[in-house]
Amino acid sequence: MPQSFTRFRFVKMLFRALPVSMVLISLAGHASVVALWNFNSPVPDGNETTGTLSPAIGAGVAVVLGGVTGTYTIPNGSSDPDTVDNSNWRITTWPAQSTQNKQNGVRFNVPTVGWSNLRLLWDLRNSNTASKYTRLQYTTNGIDFRDLQLVTMPFETWKNGQTASFVGVAGVENNPRFAFRFVTEFESTATGSGLSGYVTCNPTNVYGSAGTLRFDMVTLTGDPTVQSVSVLTYNVLGRDVPDWTTNSLQVQAIGRQLRYLKPDVIGFQEIPETNSNYLLMTNFVAAYLPDYFLGTGPRTDGGERSVVASRFPIIRSQSWLGRSDISAFGYAGVYTRDLFEAQIAVPGFDQPLHFFTTHLKAHPDQDSATRRGAEARAVSNFFTRVFLPANSLHPYVLVGDMNEDIYRPREFELDAINTMANKATGLAVTSPRNPFTGDERTWSIQNPSPTIRFDYVLPCSLLYENITSSQVFRSDRVTPLISPLQAGDSAAASDHMPVTMTFRNPYERPFSITRIERTNNAVKVTWGSVPGGRYRLEGASNLVSWAAVMNNITASGSEYTCQITNSDRPRFVRVAKDD
Ligand SMILES: [Ca+2]
Ligand SMILES: [Ca+2]
């Protein structure tokens, strides 16, 4: 749906005019945060000299350039609203006078896949002896930088909310290699005249390498260009396969299907351990899913690994339960492989997506079925005891080869699917079907007809409510066949068929103020919200000049109530989706 449609804001007059009449205002799309660095410790520790270079929102990498060094200090005046543990990134050890022009400073890599209309904001404070001139540069290939804008700084004064626009700058949008950097610059190149060296922010001081630049709230914003995310699960029958190069006919058949389906996030099971073939997934991605991000799990049972490929940046990945003792869950042994997680920054999502893939124990014999049931209980325990307490407002989905058919139970089986997908874990059972055969079974495409379902996409309830399509894919039923996809690709690739599912962005939906309650001292404003959705409450005395009353609101349920006390009660309020 068009961006502007979902960014409607609803306005209500608060007092003297009750019953209120609602005014609907349509505004141009409000930019979202692509990545934000506030340099504060993710878990506040009350110590400003500890912080992080990981972005507080989104995905990206921050590094120092040249010979400079970075530490964390208290900002005392940046725009960061954090009052508990607020750090800035303090850069020093600058080059000697008249050396290394535009080579020292800080660099931020921010993949812009799925984003347009990019703009940058930042806070900066320079010391007396630091370079007065800094150049903002950008790269579209990850290597070569071009000048964008000159930054001219006063001394010992925060200049907050500085801005630069990449709108209309070729190559910046939708680019996994995009990066920008701030580098200190000679007066001569900065201004076209003057000293072939650094001039100081404070003209009464002498330039010195001990000068400091202090950054805070470095924020890249943009408009998301995607309204949905598609996932795919695929057991690629890679166990013990000696050749995993792109010369392999099997690997080529896998690649052609994925290039045809173009899923945003793929969970692979059975990427071969043999010959360290999992390392060749880099070549696979380059050939069939250019510029996708890869997350590779650790060694599991010696035969295979879990791998996730994503069009959108993988913020972090983590292997859970790998070869862990599952005797507490009913089997004297270990979890056969692992539960592999990739945390992904999906453009326009208010919260990161946690994508999990697993491959439960195979085979129908009693020992294997018992082990599989225990593995399912370990997965259930992980979601209820480990994942949800920390991430209850984040969307998540579990995919994988579960080696069990929810509708065709075999002897000894312990209902692994419903053990994992239930109210406690928040995961929902789905049953994608092949659009041509109507069949939901996924094994085996290499037999005359499939006999059983092993492969699942189990989304959390928020994603479940936003499913737009799904299918069990088989290339032999695709008509018309679009080159280079071949009818025999599914059977040449694996015994399993890939299963896909697409979810619309659950946070982008129209909402409205549903209730306003007044008491003598306060007004309560309630609106329909998405759990985990981010909102901002604004107020005005007229319908022209709006100011934030409350920022950074994260809703925890399907409605949110915000209380405004009498002293700061505006005449009108409106609610917006936050950045
Ligand atoms: Ca900060
Ligand atoms: Ca800290």
Judged against a pLDDT cut of 50, whether residue 21 lies above it is answered with no
CA of 554 to the centre of ligand 1 (A): 20
CA distances from 449 to 86, 206, 455, 469, 479 (A): 61, 81, 16, 24, 19
The answer to whether residues 24 and 39 belong to one domain is no
CA of 81 to the centre of ligand 1 (A): 8
User: Could you count the other beta carbons within 10 Å of the beta carbon of residue 552?
Assistant: 11
CA of 345 to the centre of ligand 2 (A): 24
Q: Tell me the ligand closest to 88's alpha carbon.
A: 1
Q: Tell me the ligand closest to 50's alpha carbon.
A: 2
The answer to whether residues 373 and 247 belong to one domain is yes
Sign of CA dihedral 445, 449, 452, 456: positive
| pLDDT tens digits for range 74-131 | 988 999 999 899 999 999 999 999 999 999 999 999 999 999 999 999 999 999 999 9
What CATH number corresponds to the domain at position 68?
2.60.120.260
Last residue of a domain, one of 181, 203, 224: 224
Q: Tell me the ligand closest to 160's alpha carbon.
A: 1
| pLDDT tens digits for range 500-559 | 999 999 998 888 889 888 887 788 899 999 999 999 888 888 888 888 888 889 999 999
CA of 73 to the centre of ligand 1 (A): 9
Specify the number of domains making up the chain. Answer: 3
Question: What's the predicted TM-score (pTM) here?
Answer: 0.93
| pLDDT tens digits for range 238-296 | 999 999 999 999 999 999 999 999 999 999 999 999 999 999 999 999 999 999 999 99
Sheet holding 353-359, edge to edge: 314-320, 339-344, 353-359, 396-401, 455-459
Write the DSSP assignment of 256-294 as a string of letters.
HHHHHH--SEEEEEEEE-GGGGGGGHHHHHHHHSTT-EE
Opening angle at CA 287, ends 491 and 303, nearest 5: 55
Mean pLDDT of 562-569: 77
The answer to whether residues 475 and 566 belong to one domain is no
CA of 167 to the centre of ligand 1 (A): 26
Contact in structure between 186 and 150 (CB atoms under 8 Å): no
Domain range for 570:
3-30+511-577
The answer to whether residues 464 and 319 belong to one domain is yes
Last residue of a domain, one of 175, 196, 224: 224
CA of 72 to the centre of ligand 2 (A): 8
CA of 74 to the centre of ligand 2 (A): 9
Judged against a pLDDT cut of 60, whether residue 4 lies above it is answered with no
The answer to whether residues 419 and 405 belong to one domain is yes
The answer to whether residues 129 and 171 belong to one domain is yes
How far apart CA 536 and CA 239 sit, in angstroms, is 50
Last residue of a domain, one of 477, 504, 531: 504
CA of 88 to the centre of ligand 2 (A): 10
Output phi, psi for 145, to 5 deg.
Answer: -105, 145
CA of 80 to the centre of ligand 1 (A): 5
| pLDDT tens digits for range 389-439 | 999 999 999 999 999 999 999 999 999 999 999 999 999 999 999 999 999
Ligand 2 ion: nearby residues, β-carbon < 5 Å? 41, 45, 47, 50, 85
Write the DSSP assignment of 293-353 as a string of letters.
EEEE----SSSEEEEEEESS-EEEEEEESTT-B-GGGT-SSB-SS-EEEEEE--TT-SS-E
The answer to whether residues 128 and 66 belong to one domain is yes
How would you class 345 by CB atoms within 10 Å of its CB: exposed for 0-12, middle for 13-18, buried for 19 or more? buried
Q: Tell me the ligand closest to 38's alpha carbon.
A: 1
Residue 34: closest CA among 393, 395, 345, 354: 345
Coil, strand or helix: which one is 496? strand
CA distances from 410 to 225, 406, 413, 415 (A): 45, 10, 6, 10
